[in-house]
């Protein structure tokens, strides 16, 4: 959850416009920042289309708020500074709600919550998703995420290697340059279903650390933007109640991603 250097197609500050119905053309304008490199939650396709759970949820919230929304892609490690600099109004990018981030931005209520997990090559001798089993091993993680923080806090005997994007640690894992990787269990599970992920297997999930992993993924907004936060919270409640959230959930996952 979820970066500095990216492929050229994602490095551009491309803007994607969502018109959620004719009535929204005269509504409030909201610019949403996302990473576009974290499937299945958000991804920038080769044709320039933004897809994923985060994107569909954001569109549903905009429709519920009767707002006219645009989407801007932004490298992960600069996404909070870009929000503060008013490049966009909100971040919908699987960002975990943590106390550290709350020092810089405000958050809505969560819109999903899933645990971290470990993946290894299929022929790996590592048999457990534990700090002891990963001791002395090279463990990859996307930098500036709760997962990299988790690895550095709980896998102190591992060699934690940080990457600008999830795609880069996946490539190193597939090519044997690292022994294991940590990320969201859904992100890893979806990757393992692909041709690129055929190299590897899910070793297991990890216990959630409330301090590091926070309360789940929320929408980040600038400090003091209480009006937008209230509107987004009401919209989250509404799509949970009217079945739209369930519809989007079932498009991507065979289980309730919202969590307990």
pLDDT per position as a tens digit, 187-237: 999 999 999 999 999 999 999 999 999 899 999 999 999 999 999 999 999
Cα separation of 206 and 216, whole Å? Answer: 15
Q: Which of 181, 159, 160, 161 is nearest to 170 (CA)?
A: 181
- At residue 4, does pLDDT exceed 90? no
Cα separation of 96 and 155, whole Å? Answer: 20
In order of 76, 124, 161, 165, 203, the CA distances from 172 in angstroms are 20, 14, 10, 12, 17
Mean pLDDT value across residues 241-252: 97
In percent, the amount of the chain with pLDDT more than 90 equals 86
pLDDT digits (tens, 9 = 90+) for 53-100: 999 999 999 999 999 999 999 999 999 999 999 999 999 999 999 999
Q: What is the pTM of this model?
A: 0.79
Contacts for 112 with CB less than 8 Å, ≥ 6 apart: 53, 94, 216, 217, 257, 258, 259
- At residue 25, does pLDDT exceed 90? no
- Between β-strands 138-142 and 90-96, what pairing exists: parallel, antiparallel or unpaired? unpaired
DSSP 78: G
Give yes or no for a cis peptide into 58 (omega within 30° of 0).
no
Say if residue 22 is exposed, middle or buried (CB neighbours under 10 Å; 0-12, 13-18, 19+): exposed
């Amino acid at each position: 959850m979820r970066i500095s250097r990216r492929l050229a197609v994602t490095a551009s500050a491309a803007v994607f416009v969502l018109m959620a119905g004719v009535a929204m053309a005269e509504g409030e304008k909201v610019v949403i920042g996302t990473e576009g490199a974290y499937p299945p939650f958000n991804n920038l396709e080769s044709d320039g289309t933004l897809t994923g759970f985060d994107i569909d949820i954001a569109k549903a919230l905009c429709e519920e708020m009767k707002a006219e929304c645009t989407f801007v892609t932004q490298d992960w490690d600069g996404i909070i500074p870009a929000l503060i600099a008013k490049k966009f109004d909100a971040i919908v990018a699987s960002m975990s709600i943590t106390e550290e981030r709350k020092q810089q931005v405000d958050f809505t209520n969560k819109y999903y919550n899933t645990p971290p997990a470990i993946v290894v090559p299929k022929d790996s001798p590592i048999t457990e998703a534990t700090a002891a089993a990963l001791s002395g091993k090279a463990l990859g993680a996307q930098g500036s995420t709760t997962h990299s923080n988790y690895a550095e806090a709980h896998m102190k005997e591992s060699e934690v290697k940080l990457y600008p994007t999830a795609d880069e640690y996946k490539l190193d894992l597939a090519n044997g340059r690292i022994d294991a990787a940590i990320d969201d269990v859904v992100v890893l599970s979806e990757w393992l279903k692909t041709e690129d992920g055929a190299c590897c297997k899910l070793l297991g999930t990890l216990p959630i650390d409330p301090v590091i992993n926070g309360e789940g993924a929320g929408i980040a907004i600038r400090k003091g933007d209480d009006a937008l936060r209230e509107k987004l919270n009401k919209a989250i409640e509404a799509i949970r109640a009217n079945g739209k959230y369930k519809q989007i959930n079932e498009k991507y996952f065979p289980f309730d991603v919202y969590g307990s």
